[in-house]
Structure 1
Amino acid sequence: MPAPRKYPDEQCERAIRLLMGLVEQPNGPSINGTCLRVGEQIGANGDTLRTWVKQAWVDASKQPGATQDKARIAALERGGRELRRGNAILQTAV
């Protein structure tokens, strides 16, 4: 059973939108300082906010990460299973 979430999903999404809007501006502030300031304002840890933003970047394909790798690996494994199944059918036909 997973641990209960400390922050509601609405708060996470709102904080991510706010942080990404600030950091992605031309000549915008750094992610570290922004996360600390926003974290103090909304009552969340700055490191937690930084983790949320980095994961949001990975999910949005703006930064390479585990989410993209997992999808690619799953597709490759699915293709490998199909090939093994095809080979097994061909071997039994011979």
Structure 2
Amino acid sequence: MDHCKETGNRLRIECHFDDPADQTNEEIVLQLPTFRSCLRVKAIESRRFAHFMSTNIFIALFSGILLVWRRRKLAAAQYRRMARRIGLV
């Protein structure tokens, strides 16, 4: 697509060709553009932002859960070692 090379963003447009003088000759087929290039499309940018934010939130939650699990596991191992040294086990 030639119209998307600059940014990759495109905006859907509706074009209608009404020429009353040329309606008798139906052999002429016009191809009207259905998309145009634009710097930003609000819907695409907001979707990308939402995807970015949800990915960051998921990674943060996963990392936090993993951190808490690891700390508890290391603390439990340390308590067991300490109990063995003291002779409680």
TM-score (norm 2): 0.41
Bigger Rg, which one: 2
Structure with the bigger percentage of helix: 1
TM normalised by structure 1 equals: 0.39
Q: Say which structure is richer in strand.
A: 2
Structure with higher RCO (Cα < 8 A, 6+ apart): 2
